[in-house]
Chains A and B, each alone.
Chain A
Amino acid sequence: MIRIRGLSKRYAGGAAALDGIDLDVQSGEFITLIGPSGAGKSTLLRCINGLVTPTAGEVVVDGEPVTGASREGLRAVRARVGFVFQHFNLLKRLSVLDNVRVGTLSRLGIWPSLMAHFPGTETERARRALRRVGLLELEDRRADTLSGGQQQRVGIARALVQEPRVLLADEPMSSLDPALSRSLMELLQYINREDGLTVIASLHVLDLAISYGGRIVGLRAGKIVHDGPPAAMTSSVADLIFGGARP
């Protein structure tokens, strides 16, 4: 589903964020990406949907190249890749339903999207996504009136309505308290099993990864230092990833 070869990213005037990443992800896998902050988790996820252009290397998603893709090609890839953000990134003044319908834009013609004229079928899809995340009754509320956990559910619904092949989640819990983190992790796992959707979620909390990750990939200083099932996550591996400073 995802093939990454020799991926490197160096930001202007900074150290390497990613340094020669090779990674293969099979369809339907549930991967948790762990590592200390600054390890390059966010950059890696953003290279997969082309929000960040890597310095070197190759990314292929579902047979389509992301690196070196034209603007049209990139849009086509992004349409099939849902992205859930650490800070939700909702449009605060818009309604919950409109925020979710943003996820349908890639299927919408230019006129209807400019005039905010969503076809009934897309609105139905949006409502179905809201029902799955348990927020259907809040569709008319302004997004900024929701709690943090609810806002992140809207973010997940926005990604689901794309009907993606892959769901990338960039530290989706780090703005939320532990109980909410667990329920959101369960939601992601449920979506992964129900839809066979490939999920990659970056986390900075190790025990969440151990409880929910089907496969744990450890990142440190832009390199993959561990890749295995939760059972292989020993304390020495954790030390290797987090450098003794375990969270």
Chain B
Amino acid sequence: MSSAGRWAGGLAMAAALMWSLWSTDVSVRRLVEGAPFMLDFIHRMLPPDPSVLGQALHGALQTLQIALLGTSVAAVLAVPLALAAARNTAPRWLFYCTRSALNAFRAIDTLVYALFFVAAVGLGPFPGVLAVVVYTATVLAKLYSEAIEAMDPGPVEAVQAVGASRLQVLRWGVLPLLGPEFVSFTLYRFETNIRAAAVLGFVGGGGIGFYIQTYLRLLNYPAASTVLLVLIVMVMLVDFTSSRLRARLI
């Protein structure tokens, strides 16, 4: 890039930052003034109230179940979607249709889907599961389809060359190449979905988020902090286990 271009780019970036600073009412004074309230907030959360531990664990378990079920169903749905969204397995028209549709649906976050499904099927964990399924299916379909496109055709050709049937080619040519990658992507999405499912309760989608929101609204901060602690421990445990599994796969 020319030095003039670099200057112009730098100026444009600086202008965009200034504009955003001004538009979002950023104020150091308000931050400083708010500091005592933040400290007060944290102070009131301590010590955590152990009497709600049972509820917190129940909520955490439900969040885990929403993420597990939602991710698993999405993983299954994503396979045919990915085949339809990969350049080397789908005809041109289908590839473009599926890719565009996936991009459009992926622009909407799980939480927005949850609002939609709560309105459609009522409160509780079920609309939460549906929201996780829809968003995760679009994300996994994208990841899977990219893996399909990047797949080395050589080993598949080799399995065909020994006189294997179509099913055998899938089992011994395609599965060893794509299986570990698909599982790894899915585990990664499961980790992210634990966080996504933890806030679904804010909009009536079940799980631990319901308790966080309820106790914050009731100004019962010691109870809210217990729930938050349980959430933190659960997320860390899932991240740890899942990332170790992923490391072993590839």
Give A contacts to B, CB under 8 Å. 49, 51, 75-83, 85, 87-94, 102-103, 105-106, 108, 110, 113-114, 155, 158-159, 162
Contact = CB atoms under 8 A, between A and B. Distances in A.
A114 B167 CA distance: 8
Nearest to B172: A102
B154 A89 contact: yes
B5 interface: no
Contacts, number: 76
Contact of B155 (A77, A82, A91, A162): A91
Contacts of B165: 75, 105, 110
Contacts of A78: 160-163
Contacts of A92: 155
Interface of B: 154-155, 157-165, 167-168, 171-173, 176-177, 180
A241 to B, nearest CB: 27
Contacts of A88: 154
A51 B163 contact: no
Contacts of B171: 113-114
B180 A93 contact: yes
A22 B159 CA distance: 28
A245 B202 CA distance: 74
Contacts of A158: 158, 162
A136 B84 CA distance: 42
Nearest to B250: A93
A83 B161 contact: yes
A79 B158 contact: no
A105 B168 contact: yes
Most buried by B among A78, A89, A155, A162: A89
B163 A102 contact: no
B218 to A, nearest CB: 53
Contact of B161 (A49, A91, A94): A49
B157 A102 contact: no
Nearest to A113: B168
A162 B164 CA distance: 11
